[in-house]
């Protein structure tokens, strides 16, 4: 029997050689090709790219063979390419979409299959269901040899960097950053971000020190290429050793960013999104809606009130953010995982551009990262965040879901609950302006318990109450 393929929060991911096989990648590609042909946009051609994982370039070639066999022209990246660069290539080539062979921040045992629409953004859930429904058995997959597709000019290898770099120049003046004399540690996490910051910021007084900047599909020094502790600890240690002004950390496909301050301390993703909101609203003086998932910071809601901009909340994943971001011409779109999108660009996470904007904020204000946080907290008050991820047996999922869905506590950690939301998982809003969220991962067999609070002394207690609600204490 064929593997049943389901798209989660951001595409399909699975263990290599178990479910993630060449045959299943070809089946996924055929499903997407059929969807594009039925939509009537396939004549525009498609971008296909990949990450640094084991045999990723060969999976990309297999996808290109299937697309070409369906008569759809393919632009195939000439090497490992950051997800935001692939997404921007869709716009630059006026293509109908993209396939990205990447498992992003997942463990080294996995790979993945992301799809993008003609905006370069994630595809909305109803259309993902249509793509799933189009995935055939292997016997119905069309295929042509790559060399024949190249000879017939159905597949063209291309360098996506020039178009993306030109877009960066339109969005941000990087010369002041080059001239600022900053010392920047960049952790590439063995991924697609390798070489991009030196290329963009080289030639001036600023020094960029890269680490984990070679291809290594086992991702040594970290559990996975995800820019959160403890994976970021080696880069933070390096930053302390060299006296860096800031640390920028990209995940495996460079669509997410992590930030460390001048003391080599990690700044969590919710605070980074708060800083980006403050940067655009206060430092740059721009206005527009802000789109955020329920799992990210309420500091944005407070900034929205202060600067009179709407803040719109969605379920977790860019498959929810991207459509709302595009619909509202939002100023910012982002999520708790460290993925942020920006107006005038593509409705997609861009960890490279996000890092550049943080650097620009430092240069414009003359402040170090810890000082920027103080400025933010002067506006909205201090906020504290933490998350616990727990694996669970698959047979217990229904029981846990039912237990969480029925929960309606009057208080959490002694703080009265003012509202309960079910946008994505179960979220409990508390009187102090904080919140607790319990939800299942869309890409892994993990239940996540999150909290953000204005009470630093309550973080652990809130999380403990969340674990008890889920029956995981």
| Domain extent listing, the chain | 12-163, 172-380, 384-469
> What does the alpha-carbon distance between residue 4 and residue 459 come to, in Å, rounded to a whole number?
40
pLDDT of residue 374: 98
pLDDT of residue 212: 98
Q: 3-state class of 110 per DSSP?
A: strand
CATH of domain 12-163: 3.40.120.10
> What does the alpha-carbon distance between residue 194 and residue 140 come to, in Å, rounded to a whole number?
38
> What does the alpha-carbon distance between residue 249 and residue 236 come to, in Å, rounded to a whole number?
10
CATH of domain 172-380: 3.40.120.10
| Burial category of 241 from C-beta neighbours within 10 Å (exposed 0-12, middle 13-18, buried 19 and up) | exposed
The structure's pTM equals: 0.95
Number of DSSP helices (H) and strands (E) in the chain, helices first: 16, 21
pLDDT of residue 1: 64
Four-point Cα dihedral 124, 129, 130, 132, nearest 10: 120
Same fold for the pair 12-163 and 172-380: yes
The two three-digit tokens of residue 83, written as one number = 């997800």
Q: Between 3.40.50.2300, 3.30.56.10, 3.40.710.10, 3.30.310.50, what CATH number should domain 384-469 receive?
A: 3.30.310.50
What residues pair up with 77 in beta bridges, in sequence order?
Answer: 158
Q: What is the mean pLDDT of the chain?
A: 96
Q: Are β-strands 435-440 and 426-430 bridged in parallel, bridged antiparallel, or unpaired?
A: antiparallel
The two three-digit tokens of residue 456, written as one number = 């630093």
Tell me the pLDDT tens digit for each residue of 301-333: 999 999 999 999 999 989 999 999 999 999 999
Dihedral pair phi/psi, residue 403, rounded to 5°: -60, -45
Tell me the pLDDT tens digit for each residue of 115-146: 999 999 999 999 999 999 999 999 999 999 99
> What does the alpha-carbon distance between residue 321 and residue 327 come to, in Å, rounded to a whole number?
10
> What does the alpha-carbon distance between residue 78 and residue 193 come to, in Å, rounded to a whole number?
15
Mark 362-396 as b/e (b = at least 16 C-beta within 10 Å): bbeeebbbeebbebbeebbeebbbebbeeebeeee
Label residue 268 by pLDDT band (50, 70, 90). Answer: very high
Four-point Cα dihedral 169, 172, 176, 177, nearest 10: -100
pLDDT of residue 393: 84
Element (H, E) at 167: helix 161-171
Label residue 260 by pLDDT band (50, 70, 90). Answer: very high
């Amino acid at each position: 029997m064929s593997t049943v393929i389901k798209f989660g929060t951001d595409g399909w991911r699975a263990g290599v050689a178990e479910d993630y096989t060449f045959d299943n990648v070809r089946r996924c590609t055929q499903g997407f090709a059929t969807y594009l042909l039925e939509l009537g946009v396939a004549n525009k051609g498609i971008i296909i790219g990949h990450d640094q994982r084991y045999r990723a370039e060969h999976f990309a070639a297999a996808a290109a063979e299937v697309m070409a066999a369906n008569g759809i022209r393919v632009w195939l990246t000439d090497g490992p390419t950051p997800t935001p660069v692939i997404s921007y290539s869709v716009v630059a080539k006026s293509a109908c979409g993209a396939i990205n062979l990447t498992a992003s921040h997942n463990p080294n045992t996995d790979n993945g299959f992301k799809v993008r629409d003609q905006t370069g953004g994630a595809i909305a859930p109803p259309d993902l269901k249509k793509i799933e429904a189009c995935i055939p058995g292997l016997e119905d997959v069309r295929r042509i040899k790559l060399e024949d597709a190249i000879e017939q000019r159905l597949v063209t290898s291309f360098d996506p960097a020039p178009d993306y770099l030109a877009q960066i120049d339109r969005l941000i003046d990087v010369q002041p950053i080059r001239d600022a004399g900053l010392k920047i540690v960049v952790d590439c996490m063995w991924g697609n971000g390798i070489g991009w910051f030196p290329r963009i910021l080289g030639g001036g007084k600023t020094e960029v020190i890269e680490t984990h900047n070679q291809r290594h599909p086992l991702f040594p020094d970290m559990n996975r290429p995800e820019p959160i502790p403890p994976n970021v600890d080696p880069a933070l240690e390096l930053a302390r050793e060299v006296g860096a002004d800031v640390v920028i950390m990209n995940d495996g496909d460079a669509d997410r960013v992590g930030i460390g301050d001048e003391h080599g301390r990690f700044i969590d993703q919710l605070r980074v999104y708060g800083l980006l909101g403050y940067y655009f609203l206060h430092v740059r003086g721009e206005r527009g809606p802000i789109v955020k998932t329920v799992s990210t910071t309420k500091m944005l809601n407070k900034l929205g009130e202060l600067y009179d901009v709407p803040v719109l909340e969605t379920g977790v994943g860019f498959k929810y953010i991207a459509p709302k971001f595009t619909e509202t011409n939002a100023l910012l779109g982002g999520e708790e995982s460290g993925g942020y999108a920006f107006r005038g660009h593509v409705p997609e996470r861009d960890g490279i551009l996000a890092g550049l904007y943080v650097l620009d904020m430092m240069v414009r204000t003359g402040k170090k990262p810890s000082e920027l946080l103080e400025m933010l907290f002067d506006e909205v008050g201090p906020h504290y965040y933490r998350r616990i991820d727990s694996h669970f047996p698959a047979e217990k999922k229904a029981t846990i879901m039912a237990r969480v869905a029925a929960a309606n506590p009057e208080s959490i950690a002694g703080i009265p609950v003012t509202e309960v939301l079910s946008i994505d998982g179960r979220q409990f809003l508390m009187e102090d302006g904080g919140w607790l969220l319990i939800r299942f991962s869309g890409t892994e067999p993990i239940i996540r318990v999150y909290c953000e609070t204005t009470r630093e002394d309550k973080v652990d207690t809130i999380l403990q109450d969340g674990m008890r609600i889920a029956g995981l204490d």
